[in-house]
Amino acid sequence: MTATPIGVEISCDGPDEQTDCPESAAVRASFNSVTARQVRADGRDQGWTVRRRAGRLRDLCPTCRRPASA
């Protein structure tokens, strides 16, 4: 039997360090995307952004990337 990686899932890191994504969002799957870079490119097509926080990449869904209204 051979195990083959089937891809990478990218989920939303939430609007800030202390808060989880309220929608538990994840980038919609694409059979053509198997690396993190490819999946993040799919996410950008779906309205996601990638930011660097505390030295790590943070993926934000369209809901969490918008600043909270005052």
pLDDT in tens, 17-40: 889 999 999 998 888 888 888 999
Task: Report the number of distinct structural domains present in the chain.
Answer: 1
Separation between Cα atoms, residue 19 and residue 2, nearest integer Å: 39
Nearest alpha carbon to residue 11 among 53, 60, 45, 55: 60
* 1 inside domain: no
* 16 inside domain: yes
Percentage of the chain exceeding pLDDT 90: 41
* 41 inside domain: yes
Is the pTM higher than 0.85? The answer reads no
* 21 inside domain: yes
User: Alpha helix (H) ranges present in the chain?
Assistant: 36-45, 62-65
> Does 58 have pLDDT greater than 70?
yes
* 2 inside domain: no
- Domain with 64, as residue range(s), is 7-70
Separation between Cα atoms, residue 3 and residue 32, nearest integer Å: 18
Task: Decide: helix, strand or coil at residue 33.
Answer: coil
Average pLDDT score over the chain: 85
